[in-house]
């Protein structure tokens, strides 16, 4: 992996992490089209720059996160289903699912169709609950939806947002809670992956990780601000159409 490739991947990760279009899916596809070989380092690189993107949420919402411990409690409860699934299926996720651009393409397609349906069901536009008032059962429901995103291309953001809408949150509340839920999710995933990798990287690989983190963090800050402003006045149809078009392009070009 070159420094230019690392920068491109990091910008893609940072900007797509919080949008309902699957950052992992975009990274898998970008690595294929940039002809980046899948190695233990490249897999770890993907997860570490995801962590850097998540840290942008901690920075953006630092006042609320430090003044409201309940946000942490709610996020940790909602994280439980994903934590269990991720721990049990860790090796399968890393060695099988993350190796398949075809699975990613179909997940992008199906997820796009699901978003189109969600946008057209009236119930999902009437949510008024605050995430801080959700009972444990509904928090676990959101976590269950997020756990589906172990399949690359599904989108952690999209899955948790839909879970939030199902639980009665408004569109903005569902998006914000998906941000908060990302914190324990990616901190745990990144930490566990780094322990498994043993941190046996070369000096140049550590430098690639540093560069990747900086660009991912910066682009994620922009994405958070953009997405929060966008969902206040728009639904998810544009993202659904984008997912479907991207999936079709990938399926048509994958073996060409």
Planar angle of CA 6, 249, 153, nearest 5 degrees: 60
What is the pTM assigned to this prediction?
Answer: 0.87
3-class DSSP state for residue 129? strand
What pLDDT score was predicted for residue 200? 72
What is the spatial distance between Cα 107 and Cα 148, in angstroms, rounded to a whole number? Answer: 11
What pLDDT score was predicted for residue 95? 64
Distances (CA, A) of 28 to 38, 158, 226: 9, 18, 24
What pLDDT score was predicted for residue 9? 94
Burial of 192 (0-12, 13-18, 19+ CB in 10 A): middle
Residues whose CB is less than 8 angstroms from the CB of residue 79 and which lie 6 or more positions away in sequence, other chains included = 143, 146, 181, 184, 185, 188
What is the spatial distance between Cα 141 and Cα 148, in angstroms, rounded to a whole number? Answer: 11
Burial of 229 (0-12, 13-18, 19+ CB in 10 A): exposed
If you search the block for the tokens 């639904």, which residue do you land on? 235
User: Could you state, in chain order, the average pLDDT of each consecutive group of 10 residues for the chain (256 residues)?
Assistant: 91 92 85 82 83 90 88 92 82 66 88 92 70 84 91 89 90 91 85 69 87 95 93 91 92 75
Helix H, strand E, coil C: the string for 191-254 is HHHHHHHCCCCCHHHHHHHHHHHHHHHHHHHHHHHHHHHHHCCCCCHHHHHHHHHHHHHHHHHC
What pLDDT score was predicted for residue 256? 55
Q: How many helices (H) and strands (E) does the chain have?
A: 12, 0
What pLDDT score was predicted for residue 10? 94
What pLDDT score was predicted for residue 129? 65
Report the length, in residues, of the chain.
256
């Amino acid at each position: 992996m070159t420094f230019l490739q690392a920068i491109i991947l990091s910008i893609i990760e940072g900007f797509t992490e919080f949008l309902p279009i699957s950052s992992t899916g975009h990274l898998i596809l970008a690595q294929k089209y940039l002809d980046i070989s899948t190695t233990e380092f490249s897999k770890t690189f993907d997860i570490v720059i995801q962590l850097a993107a998540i840290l942008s949420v901690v920075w953006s919402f630092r006042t609320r996160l430090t003044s409201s411990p309940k946000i942490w409690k709610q996020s940790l409860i909602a994280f439980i289903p994903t934590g269990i699934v991720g721990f049990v299926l860790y090796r399968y996720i890393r060695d099988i699912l993350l190796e398949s651009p075809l699975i990613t393409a179909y997940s992008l397609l199906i997820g796009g169709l699901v978003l189109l349906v969600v946008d057209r069901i009236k119930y999902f536009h009437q949510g008024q609950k605050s995430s801080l008032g959700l009972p444990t059962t509904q928090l676990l429901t959101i976590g269950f939806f997020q756990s589906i995103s172990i399949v690359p291309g599904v989108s952690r953001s999209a899955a948790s947002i839909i879970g939030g809408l199902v639980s009665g949150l408004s569109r903005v509340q569902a998006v914000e809670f998906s941000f908060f839920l990302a914190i324990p999710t990616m901190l745990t995933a990144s930490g566990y992956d780094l322990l498994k990798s043993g941190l046996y990287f070369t000096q140049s690989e550590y430098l690639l990780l540093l560069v990747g983190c900086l660009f991912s963090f910066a682009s994620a800050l922009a994405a958070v601000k953009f997405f929060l402003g966008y969902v206040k006045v728009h639904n998810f149809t544009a993202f659904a159409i984008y997912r479907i078009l991207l999936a079709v392009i990938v399926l048509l070009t994958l073996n060409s």
